[in-house]
Copies of this chain bind each other. A is one copy, B any other.
Amino acid sequence: MRRFAVIGHLARTDSGFTLEDMPGGAGRMDILCRCVQSVLFLSHTIRRDTEVYLILLGPPSPPRTILFSGEKIRYLSPDERSAGSLIRRALSLPPSPYFIESTPGVYIRSAGLDLLLHEHAFAIADEHGEDIRCADPLPLAYLLSDHLDFTPEEGAILDPLPRYSVGPLPLHADHAITLIHNELDRRGAGWP
Q: Mark A residues whose CB is within 8 Å of B.
A: 19-20, 22-23, 30-31, 34, 37-38, 41-44, 77-82, 131, 133-134, 147, 166-172, 175, 178-179, 182, 185-186, 188-189, 191-192
Contacts of A30 in B (CB 8 A): 78-80
B186–A167 contact, CB under 8 A?
Answer: yes
Copies of the polypeptide in the assembly: 2
Contacts of A172 in B (CB 8 A): 41-43, 78
Query: What's the Cα separation between A171 and B79 when bound, in Å?
Result: 15
Contacts of A31 in B (CB 8 A): 78
Chain B nearest CB from A167 CB (Å) reads 5
Chain B nearest CB from A41 CB (Å) reads 6
> What are 29 pairs between A and B in contact, CB < 8 Å?
A19-B20, A20-B20, A23-B78, A23-B79, A23-B82, A30-B80, A41-B172, A41-B175, A42-B170, A42-B171, A43-B147, A43-B169, A43-B170, A43-B172, A44-B147, A79-B80, A131-B192, A133-B192, A167-B186, A167-B189, A167-B191, A168-B185, A168-B189, A169-B185, A169-B189, A171-B178, A178-B178, A179-B179, A179-B182
Other A-B contacts than A23-B78, A179-B182, 16 sampled, CB-CB below 8 A, are A19-B20, A20-B81, A23-B82, A30-B78, A30-B80, A34-B78, A41-B175, A42-B170, A42-B171, A44-B147, A44-B170, A131-B191, A131-B192, A167-B185, A168-B185, A169-B185
